[in-house]
């Protein structure tokens, strides 16, 4: 499908008519639910909302995260698809998070560094899923984006 700029207003009104209001949740496939749950709850401080036999539902601020045990899947390397999942963190809490990650020996992929109007740190969960905590809003990021 090819969309032209002249159709932008029409496309925008079609999206709104579907009732989409924003981001809902992220589901992450994990090899060992207990190990991942320990990381997400003890290290990151997420709260358990529901625990099933092979899944756990967590909240982290306003974000909703589902961990789904899938031991039959092998870790994938450098595939197309989701690169990382980012969460907003208040600037006043950023240094505390960095300390927690370092004390827990969580693999840090990038940062902490200042970029796009805020501070960012990228790190890996026990299955190698890349997560990011970022202190800037989208509006702040767009002010510095080139």
- Give the Cα separation of 123 and 129 in Å (integer): 8
- Give the Cα separation of 101 and 121 in Å (integer): 10
Domains of the chain in sequence order = 19-144 (3.10.180.10)
Q: Which two tokens stand for residue 80?
A: 């197309």
pTM over 0.85: no
Cα atoms in the 13 Å half-sphere on the side-chain side of 52: 9
Residue pLDDT, tens place only, 75-131? 665 565 677 899 999 999 999 999 999 999 999 999 999 988 899 999 999 999 999
Place of tokens 């499908």: 1
């Amino acid at each position: 499908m090819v969309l032209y700029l002249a159709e932008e207003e029409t496309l925008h009104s079609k999206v709104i008519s579907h009732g989409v209001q924003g981001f809902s949740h992220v589901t992450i496939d994990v090899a060992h639910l207990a190990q991942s749950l320990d990381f997400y709850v003890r290290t990151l401080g997420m709260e358990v909302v529901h625990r099933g036999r092979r899944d756990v539902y967590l909240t982290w601020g306003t974000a909703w995260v589902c961990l789904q045990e899938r031991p039959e899947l092998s870790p994938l390397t450098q595939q197309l698809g989701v690169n990382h999942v980012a969460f907003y963190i208040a600037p006043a809490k950023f240094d505390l998070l960095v300390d927690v990650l370092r004390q827990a020996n969580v693999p840090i992929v990038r940062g902490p560094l200042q970029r796009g109007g805020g501070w960012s740190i990228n790190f890996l969960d026990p299955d190698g899923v890349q997560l990011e905590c970022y202190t800037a809003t989208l509006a702040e990021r767009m002010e510095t984006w080139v």
